[in-house]
């Protein structure tokens, strides 16, 4: 029999592996339309690499890389330090990642120039999904913390590049869904009820009216696609296949759906052939970070 704590850590590992698997699966079809995906793959459901980044099989993109940079900062400092996180992101940018988002690049260049990690000027224009895609370490570190601590901790990584209210709202909702999964909530309708209640104050994210195909990097479209796939399927595998076959920003919809569905369905629900394809160095880092952050979480300074 596993203890409650062991089960919790297993779900945290599943969320981390889910993120990486979704990123790796989606990267192949990023920027393709659903029609192009059907033409080329029928249904895209294997981790095969390629895509516009010409990735080797099992490679991941900025979504997982930035999450790992953020996770390492939390582990190293035992805190959520905007300065340390900005430095970790900056070090990552120095590796010349080919798939760095425009908003992320702009935010990190601003940091290089000013040495101020947090951008205090709200950007009303650019509500991209670049903060939401990398928030998993924050979600793990803030498990069972107050909403105030969660929001403030999220801001310290998000506002380095995405000082935007829509992005903040989306991040907070995704963290809440991950927390429900970590708690062992097994009823999909209960999670859906939380999202639907949130829509009353965040109506832009309404996802029940129009099917979202080809979602852009706009956080609203990204989450609409993720919610539609997560709430209209009943397994990790179905959810991930559904979301990446919508094309568009498929690595990021895959990554966000992967962390939510990973926490909810657990590690055994992640197809073994996907886990085996994942770059072993990446899956090891994901697993180790998930375990360390969960073990550290009581000591973290927020
Ligand atoms: Mg990416």
- The pLDDT, as a whole number, for residue 98 is 86
Share of the chain above pLDDT 70, in %: 100
Map residue 50 onto helix, strand or coil: strand
Q: Cβ contacts of residue 254 below 8 Å, gap of 6+? A: 21, 22, 23, 24, 25, 26, 27, 240, 243, 244
Question: Could you report the per-residue pLDDT of 90-149, keeping only the tens digit for each?
Answer: 999 999 998 999 999 999 999 999 999 999 998 887 799 999 999 999 999 999 999 999
Q: What is the structure's pLDDT at 126?
A: 74
- Mean pLDDT on 202-224: 98
Mean pLDDT score of the chain, rounded to an integer? Answer: 97
Ligand 1 centroid distance, CA of 218 (Å): 13
| CB burial of residue 201 (10 Å; 0-12, 13-18, 19+) | exposed
According to DSSP H, which parts of 47-101 are helical?
Answer: 62-77, 82-94
pLDDT in tens, 173-200: 999 999 999 999 999 999 999 999 999 9
Can you give the pLDDT at residue 89? 98
Gap from CA of 100 to ligand 1 centroid (Å): 7
For residue 260, the model assigns a pLDDT of 99
**pLDDT-derived band of residue 45, with 50, 70 and 90 as boundaries?**
very high
pLDDT confidence tier of residue 43, bands split at 50, 70 and 90:
very high
CB 188 within 8 A of CB 228: no
pLDDT for position 2: 86
Give the pLDDT score at 1: 81
CB 233 within 8 A of CB 239: yes
Phi, psi values for residue 213, rounded to 5°: -105, 155
Query: Can you tell me the mean pLDDT for 274-296?
Result: 98
Asked if the model's pLDDT at residue 84 lies above 90, the reply is: yes
Q: How many residues are present in the chain?
A: 302
Provide the residue ranges of all domains of the chain, joining segments of one domain with +.
Answer: 4-296
**CATH fold of the domain at 4-296:** ADP-ribosylglycohydrolase fold (1.10.4080)
109 C-alpha to ligand 1 centroid (Å)? 19
| Cα distance between residue 176 and residue 135, in whole Å | 11
Q: What is the pTM (predicted TM-score) of this model?
A: 0.98
How many angstroms is it from 226 CA to the middle of ligand 1? 15
pLDDT at 288 over 80: yes
Cα 2 to ligand 1 centroid, rounded to whole Å: 35
What is the per-residue pLDDT for 190?
97
**pLDDT at res. 234:** 98
Residues 237-254 pLDDT 10s: 999 999 999 999 999 999
Identify the pLDDT of residue 124.
Answer: 81
Rounded to whole angstroms, the Cα distance separating 300 from 48 reads: 38
> Helix (H, G, I), strand (E, B), or coil: what is residue 107?
helix
Q: How many CB atoms lie within 10 A of CB 107?
A: 27
The CA distance from 136 to 191, in Å, is 18
For ligand 1, the distance from its centroid to the CA atom of residue 281, given in whole angstroms, is 18
Measured in Å, residue 33 CA sits from the centre of ligand 1 at: 16
Average pLDDT over residues 155-173: 98
Q: What residues contact residue 242 under an 8 Å CB cut-off, 6+ apart? A: 228, 229, 232, 233
Å from CA of 250 to ligand 1 middle: 8
| CA of residue 142 to ligand 1 center, whole Å | 24
Taking the centre of ligand 1 as the mean of its atom positions, its distance from the CA of residue 298, in whole angstroms, is 31
Query: What is the Å distance from ligand 1's center to 53 Cα?
Result: 10
Residue 209 CA, ligand 1 centroid: distance in Å:
27
Contact 106, 161 (CB under 8 A): yes
What is the per-residue pLDDT for 206? 98
Please tell me the distance between residue 99's alpha carbon and the centre of ligand 1 in angstroms.
6
Residues with beta carbon < 5 A to ion ligand 1?
A: 61-63, 99, 251
Cα-based angle 186, 188, 191 (whole degrees, multiple of 5): 100
- What's the pLDDT score for residue 123? 84
CA-to-CA dists, residue 77 to 10, 19, 299, angstroms: 23, 23, 10
What pLDDT is attached to residue 194?
98
Pairwise CA distance, residues 220 & 158, whole Å: 16
The two three-digit tokens of residue 65, written as one number = 């890389």
């Amino acid at each position: 029999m596993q203890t409650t704590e062991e089960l919790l850590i297993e779900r945290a590992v599943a969320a981390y592996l889910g993120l990486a698997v979704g990123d790796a699966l989606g990267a192949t079809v990023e920027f393709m339309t659903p029609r192009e995906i059907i033409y080329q793959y029928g249904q895209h459901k294997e981790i095969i690499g390629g895509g516009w980044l010409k990735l080797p099989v099992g490679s991941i993109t900025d979504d997982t890389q930035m999450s790992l940079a953020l996770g390492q900062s939390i582990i190293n400092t035992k805190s959520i330090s905007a300065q340390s996180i900005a430095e970790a992101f900056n070090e990552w940018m120095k590796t010349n990642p080919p798939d760095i988002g425009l908003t992320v690049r702009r935010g990190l260049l601003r940091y290089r120039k000013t040495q101020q990690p947090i951008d205090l000027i709200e950007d009303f224009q650019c509500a991209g999904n670049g903060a939401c895609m990398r928030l998993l370490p924050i979600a793990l570190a803030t498990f069972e913390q107050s909403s105030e601590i969660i929001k403030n901790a999220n801001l310290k990584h998000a506002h380095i590049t995405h000082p935007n209210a829509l992005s903040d709202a989306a991040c907070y909702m995704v963290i809440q869904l991950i927390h429900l999964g970590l708690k062992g909530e097994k009823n999909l309708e209960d999670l859906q009820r939380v999202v639907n209640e949130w829509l009353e104050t965040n109506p832009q994210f309404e996802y029940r009216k129009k099917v979202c195909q080809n979602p852009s990097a706009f956080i609203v479209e990204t989450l609409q696609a993720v919610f539609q796939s997560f709430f209209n399927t009943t397994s990790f595998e179905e959810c991930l296949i559904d979301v990446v076959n919508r094309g568009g920003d498929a690595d990021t919809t895959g990554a966000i759906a992967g962390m939510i569905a990973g926490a909810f369905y657990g590690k055994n629900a992640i197809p073994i052939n996907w886990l085996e394809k994942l770059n072993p160095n990446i899956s090891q880092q994901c697993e180790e970070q998930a375990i360390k952050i969960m073990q550290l979480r009581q000591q973290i300074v927020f």
